[in-house]
């Protein structure tokens, strides 16, 4: 049995689906229940209270570990989850980390995530780490303003990064969970092309078949919005990257192709699959 945390999110949902389709027994974890693919068990647990995971972990051979933003806070103890998994007999953990751990190691949220990676490496478990860059699904933040005002509002409109489709992250994670050859792998995951927020708005307009205006936010305006959803350290670290990505953050990583044998999906694929949110 494989436990998937964050199972109702952008990465966890397609991962749960892919593992179930591969014939694996899956236990899906999130705080709130949601519809699951046939045969998938859902267990409600809060990662901020690691012992709440115990019923999900019993009988598990592998764990996909996705930590929400608040678990990067200084008082959080996500490494307890790794200890608990080892104590309950889990043999393999695949951690969803972040590209910034390598490219901006001094950022506060990156230091916290690096500590989780280090704990996993020292745990004696089989492990693999996926380090994605910015997600295509961050564009969900624009869905309401596209629906109601035909507008995308974002900072740094002409500064791009190679955003990654969360479905590709999920496929790579599934490979790491199922295939021994990925033990000890650290995979940096990007999309196939650098794309700016203004170009992303153009892609949404093209798929919608109607115009979408681009409105450039200041850094402070963007931070005020982001901190409604993520801790201030994570907002600052993210804004540092998207305002001035360094060469490592602009590089198109070969790792999706290396693991899956195909190129990563372009942003337009993600928009086509999720266009209902923007209509
Ligand atoms: N967005 C980016 O550009 C980016 C880039 C690099 C790395 N990342 C990392 O990717 C992760 C986010 O992935 P995502 O977009 O798939 O997430 P998401 O769509 O925001 O979904 C979060 C999932 O985690 C669950 N969850 C949240 N807090 C929880 C808690 N305390 N206990 C148990 N479950 C909890 C949510 O369900 P409930 O709310 O019902 O619990 C949901 O299933 C984060 O770790 C982030 O650091 C993101």
Using the predicted structure, report yes or no on whether residue 70 has a pLDDT greater than 80.
no
Using the predicted structure, report yes or no on whether residue 147 has a pLDDT greater than 80.
yes
Mean pLDDT over residues 28-40, rounded?
95
Distance 69 CA to ligand 1 centre (A): 7
Using the predicted structure, report yes or no on whether residue 72 has a pLDDT greater than 80.
no
Give me the sign of the Cα torsion angle 134, 229, 204, 96. Answer: positive
Angle (CA) 223 225 231, round 5°: 65
pLDDT value, residue 245: 98
6 within ligand 1 shell (Cβ under 6 A): yes
Using the predicted structure, report yes or no on whether residue 22 has a pLDDT greater than 80.
yes
pLDDT value, residue 231: 87
What tens digit of pLDDT does each residue of 115-124 get? 999 999 999 9
11 within ligand 1 shell (Cβ under 6 A): yes
Distance 79 CA to ligand 1 centre (A): 17
Distance 6 CA to ligand 1 centre (A): 6
Mutate to test the pocket of ligand 1, among 52, 66, 78 (most ligand atoms within 8 A of CB): 66
Distance 9 CA to ligand 1 centre (A): 6
Mean pLDDT over residues 168-185, rounded?
98
What tens digit of pLDDT does each residue of 186-233 get? 999 999 999 999 999 999 999 999 999 999 999 999 999 999 988 898
pLDDT value, residue 251: 98
Confidence band, pLDDT 50/70/90 cuts, at residue 261: very high
pLDDT value, residue 109: 82
Using the predicted structure, report yes or no on whether residue 77 has a pLDDT greater than 90.
no
pTM for the model stands at 0.97
pLDDT value, residue 28: 98
52 within ligand 1 shell (Cβ under 6 A): no
d(CA 251, CA 258): 15
68 within ligand 1 shell (Cβ under 6 A): yes
47 within ligand 1 shell (Cβ under 6 A): yes
């Amino acid at each position: 049995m494989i436990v998937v945390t964050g199972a109702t999110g952008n990465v966890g949902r397609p991962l749960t689906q892919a593992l179930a389709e591969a014939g694996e027994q899956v236990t899906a974890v999130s705080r709130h229940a949601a519809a699951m693919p046939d045969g998938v068990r859902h267990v409600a647990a809060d990662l901020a209270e690691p012992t709440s995971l115990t019923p999900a972990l019993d009988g598990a051979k592998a764990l996909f570990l996705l930590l929400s933003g608040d678990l990067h806070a200084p008082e959080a103890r996500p490494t307890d989850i790794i200890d608990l998994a080892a104590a309950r007999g889990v043999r393999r953990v695949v951690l969803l980390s972040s590209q910034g751990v390598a490219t901006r190691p001094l950022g506060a949220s990156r230091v916290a995530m690096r500590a989780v990676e280090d704990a996993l490496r020292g745990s004696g478990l089989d492990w693999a780490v996926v380090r994605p860059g910015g997600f295509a699904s961050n564009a969900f933040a624009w869905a309401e303003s596209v629906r109601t005002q035909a507008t995308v509002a974002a900072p740094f409109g002409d500064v791009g990064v190679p955003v990654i489709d969360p479905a590709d992250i999920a496929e790579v994670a599934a490979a790491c969970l199922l295939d021994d050859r990925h033990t000890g792998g650290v995979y940096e995951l990007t999309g196939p092309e650098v794309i700016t927020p203004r170009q992303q708005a153009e892609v949404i307009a093209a798929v919608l078949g109607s115009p979408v205006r681009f409105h450039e936010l200041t850094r402070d305006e963007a931070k005020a919005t982001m901190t409604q959803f993520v801790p201030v350290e994570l907002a600052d670290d993210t804004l540092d990257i998207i305002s001035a990505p360094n060469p490592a953050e602009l590089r198109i990583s070969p790792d999706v192709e290396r693991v899956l044998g195909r190129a990563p999906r372009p942003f337009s694929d993600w928009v086509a699959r999720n266009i209902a949110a923007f209509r």
